[in-house]
A = this chain, B = another copy of it.
Amino acid sequence: MKAYKKLVEKYERIHHLSHMQSIVYWDQQSMMPKGSSDARAKAMAEFGVILHEASVDKEIALLLDDAMGENLNSIEKASLYEMKKTYTNNTLLPSSLVKAQSLAHSRCNHIWMEQRKNNNWKAFQPSLEEVIKLSREEASIRSEISGLSAYDSLLDLYEPGMKSETLDDIFADVKTWLPQLIQNIVEKQKSQTIIKPQGIFEIQAQKELGIKVMNHLGFDFNKGRIDISAHPFCGGVPEDVRLTTRYDEKDFVQSLMGTIHETGHASYEQNLPQDLLALPVGQARSMGIHESQSLFFEMQMGRSAEFLKSIHPYIIESFGKSEALELDNLVKIYSKVEPSLIRVDADEVTYASHVILRYEIERALINGQIETSDIPDMWNEKMQEALGLNTKGNYKDGCMQDVHWSEGLFGYFPSYTLGAMYAAQQFNTVKKIHPNIKESIANGNLMETKLWLKENIWNKASIYSTDELITKATGETLNPKYFKAHLENKYLL
């Protein structure tokens, strides 16, 4: 166990150094005054070099080899496997490519920000082309080592073990029923009247409401905080989780649900196994599983009539009584389904269409079946098909709406919908074990739900593969039928 122990020390050191980076990054997003950004960028870049050097340390390679022959228990074996995977992922690319990507991503990101405002695809296309060219290079190198297809070798970075073959099946199935389901729901909701909450909802009151709801959800404020940033995220470190949100005086509805969503991410982080926190095996299983926790909190619980009932008194306490804030009306607001152009504003039913569209385009791009110039037409065509919406010439609300591709994040989008599916499957299991779970939630008792998540997801970190994790937790591998059932039960019954 000598080599394994040394590896643990190496990864503990990396964990401590990452702590510094995470806190400073959080500061940058939520606290730092604008005028300091230059000095901060230089400090982060300098520190990035140190962290990179620690994570590609050649001694790790030797120790990984030596540790293979050591007598390890099952968790240590899983740990070694994850170390190896992390190390390989970190060291695989030649540094010339890493540098070229870093440059291309930040240039493309910059141009995207400018040209999205101008709705100018032509000015954006060349820099995206460069990013795609480099991502294809990356995919080709990764694919050679992993034996996966080009696209799958990128997908594997976010969803280890997931293959496009599986995604194709799942998404093909979704496409057979989702468009009709959306139509039926929209039809059904036509007769509803929703009263839009009016007014000034004071930021301070919104903050206090958010904290009450986070406490209700079990966020540990002894090891975390919530602050404000332009783009809400769940940051910090597992020992000190830094959530952010944003407030709009005219509308508390979005921010409140955003806080619930991020608290799902945070609960996963705060409940990872304490003794493994520093190691790759102690980290969250995948982006999809991470998203399953935020969507469990938001979609399975948060937007349900039962959960809204349990926090309704807090809402009234914060803003006083009004027709718009009556429970029934809030439930309607939080269940509204409406095809729309922008993914991040989409409801959970139409959201999957947005993801599938992006998946099909990015897979074809990385596998070399289409070129960058094909994106706008393909986007428009698929958007018409899925949601009946036209994006011809409307790039800013079409193929230029997301930052992901500009930053080379190919293979990331599927995680959102995988997360929604894992969440539905998990909640279905909780319901089977605790048939009265909805009543419990309505009564403000989240004990059973949280205990199940803790024992089956949070505490397990990356000890098992995603398939094993989900099978141990729910009795089967990913089965999208629970997602379909969830949507049908929630929106059509």
Contact = CB atoms under 8 A, between A and B. Distances in A.
Interface of A: 13, 16-17, 19-21, 23-24, 27, 31-36, 38-40, 42-47, 50, 220-225, 237, 239-240
A223 B45 CA distance: 19
A35 B220 contact: yes
A225 B35 CA distance: 11
B46 A13 contact: yes
A47 B17 contact: yes
Nearest to A47: B20
B20 A20 contact: yes
A23 B17 contact: no
Contact of A27 (B27, B46, B221): B27
A215 to B, nearest CB: 14
Contacts of A47: 16-17, 20
Given A27-B27, A38-B239, A50-B50, A19 B33 contact: no
**6 pairs of A and B residues whose beta carbons are closest in the complex:** A39-B239, A36-B240, A35-B222, A19-B43, A16-B46, A35-B223
5 contacts: A16-B43, A16-B47, A17-B47, A20-B21, A23-B24
A343 B403 CA distance: 56
A393 B43 CA distance: 50
A270 to B, nearest CB: 10
B222 A39 contact: no
A27 to B, nearest CB: 6
Nearest to A42: B16
A243 to B, nearest CB: 12
Contacts of A31: 31, 225
A485 B484 CA distance: 84
A222 B34 contact: yes
B39 A19 contact: yes
Contacts of A19: 39-40, 42-43
A392 to B, nearest CB: 43
Contacts of A220: 35
Given A19-B42, A20-B24, A23-B24, 20 more contacts: A13-B46, A16-B42, A16-B45, A19-B39, A19-B43, A20-B20, A20-B21, A20-B47, A31-B31, A31-B225, A32-B240, A33-B222, A33-B223, A33-B240, A34-B222, A35-B220, A35-B222, A35-B239, A36-B240, A40-B240
A422 to B, nearest CB: 29
Contact of A46 (B17, B33, B38, B223): B17
B36 A239 contact: yes
Contacts of A223: 33, 35-36
A223 B180 CA distance: 54
A202 to B, nearest CB: 12
Nearest to A242: B31
A157 B224 CA distance: 38
Contacts of A13: 46
Nearest to A16: B46
A33 B221 contact: yes
Contacts of A34: 222
